[in-house]
Amino acid sequence: MTTVRRVLITGFQPFGGEEQNPSWLLASRFAGLQTIHDVTVEVVVAELPTVFGVSSQHLRAAISEHRPEVVLCLGQAGGRNGLTPERVAINIDDARIADNDGQQPVDVPVVSGGPAAYFSSLPIKRMVRDMRAAGIPAEVSQTAGTFVCNHVFYALMHMAATEFPFIWRCGFMHVPYLPMQVLGRSSPSMSLQLMKKGVEVSLRAVLSPIPDEQLVGGQEQ
């Protein structure tokens, strides 16, 4: 009998004047049953508002409702040219621009009294290795920024550590712009089809019980 695992994948609403957010377009394509390595996976999805505080509340509600064993949050990182699993979430909100509710916190902790940072529990280096082997641009990212993406990433890791022991693995991955978002400007982009393949490859790595491998994934700067 195959094992059924429940996976929650989230994406964000558009922000910063964009009409679309590839993270949600991507996440929404995974809803339903998926078969990965002979494992039947029930994927549930949630669209998070690009708003400090409210986004993490929506995430908590989705986790409470669905009780997933794996949570993969996706977000848009305009300017990046590949899929980038994040290594670390930091306990700070420091917004260069306002969120979708007009909030612009500066040097505010995501969780008052929480640890300075959490490392992802996803096998991020194996995810990158496998995506590259499949012909998909990917690299480990050392920072999720200090906007709502990092806010959700930190909140997720804190919830997994303090509230939801049923979560086995969780973390965050950024995705590039879509081609339609970079018309008339010079910026990297990636097709939704290639992004979807990258997430599929990543999920195979995540659902494997093998621990992450010690592969080079650092940066000099």
Give the residue numbers annotated as catalytic, written as ranges: 86, 149, 174
The answer to whether the CB of 165 falls within 8 A of the CB of 63 is: no
Query: Rounded to whole angstroms, how far apart are CA atoms 138 and 126?
Result: 11
Going by the DSSP 8-state scheme, the letter that residue 113 receives in this structure is T
Query: Rounded to whole angstroms, how far apart are CA atoms 190 and 82?
Result: 7
Q: Tell how far CA 173 is from the center of its chain.
A: 3
Q: Which of 177, 161, 204 is nearest to 34 (CA)?
A: 204
Q: Which residues are bridge partners to 173 per DSSP?
A: 74, 85
Q: Exposure of 54 by Cβ count < 10 A (0-12 exposed, 13-18 middle, 19+ buried)?
A: middle
* First-to-last C-alpha distance (Å) of the chain: 48
Query: Rounded to whole angstroms, how far apart are CA atoms 154 and 4?
Result: 27
Query: Rounded to whole angstroms, how far apart are CA atoms 175 and 149?
Result: 11
In this structure, what are the phi and psi dihedrals at residue 7, rounded to the nearest 5 degrees? -120, 130
